[in-house]
Structure 1
Amino acid sequence: MEAEIVGLKFQLESMDTITLEPHYMKGLHAWFLHQIQAYDPELSAYLHDGQGEKPFTLSRLMGPMQWRNSHWLLPARQSYEFYLTLLSGPVIEGMVPWFQQLPKSLTLARQSFRLQKVDLFLPAIAYQDLVMGWNSTKKLELSFLSPTSFRRQGNHYPLPDPRNVFQSYLRRWNDFSGYLVEVEPFLDWIQQCVLIDRHWLESVKTTAGKQGQVTGFVGSVAFALSKKAHDEPDYIELYYALGKMAPYCGTGHKTPFGLGQTRWGWKTGTIHQFLPLQVQFQEQALGQRIDQLTELFLSQRKRTGGERALNICHTQAVILARRELGESLLAIATDLQMPYETAKTYSKRAQKAFKAQAEKS
């Protein structure tokens, strides 16, 4: 049977000292899509614009980084890596020509890494293989190595609620496996029968997302089944298959931009084992700055009630906080999916309000 899912590790070397903006993941994402576009524009368009779940995940760069002057500094002649997973047989087949002629370098913000090699990180298998090899009495332990979050009622939900976790896996399963599962009955079973046996979690704010920040969690969770679960053996089989799929598909949303990186097994320690200290500091600092500015702008309004006022103040805060980090207004407007002139107006109002408060103080 042909491969339908696979995980790859790309190993890089910085050719010179490299400086990257906080939101460099957008550049890595764009590099990958441009690579595919060069030989298969239709496949690239599907990866970028296709309806439903994205058939790939992409991790952040992993390796030695320093946080200086609101940018990442990557020393020369250092090793880095990132992970790419593919969730669709046709996508894997369509990318074979690229794998056979991989580029010798990777360019981010006009700065180059040498692409040393690409290795298998997760074996290339078929979806049917996921249902084999699991002990139905064994706890399912998963670790979340990058901030993980879900969308719930229009907001971010940074907790590994079993229903949310397995719903995110089931969406990918239904889109790509070819074995369609009725959603609500299975999720009802998850809610009734899947327990959190133990966990070690910490929350962190990250710069991914259109609104400048996402609150997510990192850490480890052990899921267990209640006695009632064994009334539905088919669901138990699917439960373990989805757990086995987790490192391939990632968990939650924004997985093509580095969120929700998931691994099998339990990883203990502190948050620094999951995020470098500089990443934790920068991301939490940005989130705190946005919260601080939002409260400031709200306090200056005559009418502070209502969701619209909060949204306006939050958008102003996001733009000003990211401008303080040195991002261009055009890049921010593109990320927030708003016209440049609108972003410019928000930026001017935010700067004026901040200046007025400074003068008052």
Structure 2
Amino acid sequence: MPTLITIHLTATEPLFFNPAWPLEERFRQILARGGSSVPEEAAPAPYTLSPIWPVRTPGPPASPATALPYRWRVSLLDDALTGPFLAGLQKTPALEFDGRSLVVGQPDVQLHSYDELAAGVRRQVGARPPAFRRVGLKFLTPVLLRRHRLSFPLPDPVAVFHHYLDGWDTFAPRELWVNVNLLDAVEMHLETVDHQLETRRIRVPGGKMAAGFIGQVTYRVRQWQKLGPDFLAAVQMLARFGEYCGTGELTGHGLGQTRLLK
């Protein structure tokens, strides 16, 4: 089942997230303290990592003596990682980045069943199919997609949903798998009707630069009556899974953080 873990952190001085911070290395260190590991070549990766985000609090700026709050969102797609990661986190009093220390607090843990996710979407779509013709996605951190190994800085529906389907069919129970032929219907019937996007330059491992994007997009299913509610439910389910698996490449480095627009 997908597990969302929000790790609460505090620091004594302001920190500004650096995309070069070794998030994945810190994640693997925590996992190792819990007695587990993930192969370097695992694809798709069974986890996604957010940047270290500051927590904005109301009121005047904090005094120098006040602990400043931050949070780190870890999404685990494989059940086997949840126990070891939480155990390793208990053995991790602080995280170090650029010589600065972030004290680790008590995490918030949300467990979500693949079965419940699929069944919940089917119930909602079955009750009001026309209300689910649209899918809106917000990309909180830059997304790196490719076509024929080349950077493609646009949320092409086939590329986006291919990523979600690949992750779903890797980690969900076999009886919930989505047939890859769904992508043929996505190509023909899922149109982009609105977007607010900006191009971002992304430094990839090895030091090279690639073109990505950030912002939000809205898709609409054309001729949904012809495709039926099962197609709508599959698209909505995969889009919701995008909140867990992220979008595109390097989701273990803070890229591709995705939220479903309500």
TM over 0.5: yes
Whole-Å Cα distance in 1 between the matches of residues 138 and 208 of structure 2?
Answer: 25
Structure 1 runs (4+) greater than 4 angstroms displaced = 16-22
Q: Which has the higher contact order (CA 8 A, sep 6+)?
A: 2
- Determine which structure has the larger helix proportion and give its number: 1
Query: Which of these residues, 122, 140, 144, is aligned with residue 135 of structure 2?
Result: 140
1:37 aligns with 2:36: no
On the 8 A contact 2:2/2:113 being kept in 1, the answer is yes
The change in CA–CA distance for 1:49 and 1:156 in structure 2 (over 3 A counts) is same
Cross-structure match for 2:117 = 130
Instruction: Give per-residue Cα distances to partners, 1:74-105, cap 9 Å, x unaligned.
Output: x9842222211011122224434335x25221
Distance 1:20 1:159 in 2: 25
CA contact (8 A) 1:229 1:236 kept: no
Shift of residue 187, structure 1, vs aligned partner: 0.7
Alignment TM-score, normalising by the size of structure 1? 0.62
Q: 1:188 to 1:11 in 2, by over 3 A?
A: same
The superposition leaves residues 151-196 of structure 1 with CA deviations (integer Å, 9 ceiling, x where unpaired) of 221111111111011000001011100233332x111011111111
Which of 180, 190, 195 is 1:199 aligned to?
A: 195
Structure-2 separation of matches of 1:156 and 1:62: 27
Larger proportion of strand: 2
Q: How many residues end up aligned between the 2 structures?
A: 243
In the other structure, the counterpart of 2:61 is none
Q: Which structure 1 residue ranges, 5 or more long, are not aligned?
A: 65-74, 267-361
Q: Counterpart of 1:244 in 2: which secondary structure?
A: helix
Q: Percent identity?
A: 26
Contact 2:195 2:217 in 1 (8 A): yes
Show CA shifts across 1:218-247 (max 9, x none): 111112111156435433221111011111
User: CA RMSD for the aligned pairs?
Assistant: 2.4
Amino acid of the structure 1 residue aligned with 2:197: L
* Equivalent in the alignment of 2:42: 51
Q: Which amino acid aligns with 2:113?
A: A
What CA distance in whole angstroms lies between the structure 2 residues aligned with 1:125 and 1:63? 25
**1:109 pairs with 2:106:** no
Structure-1 residue corresponding to 2:241? 245
Query: Deviation at 1:21?
Result: 6.0
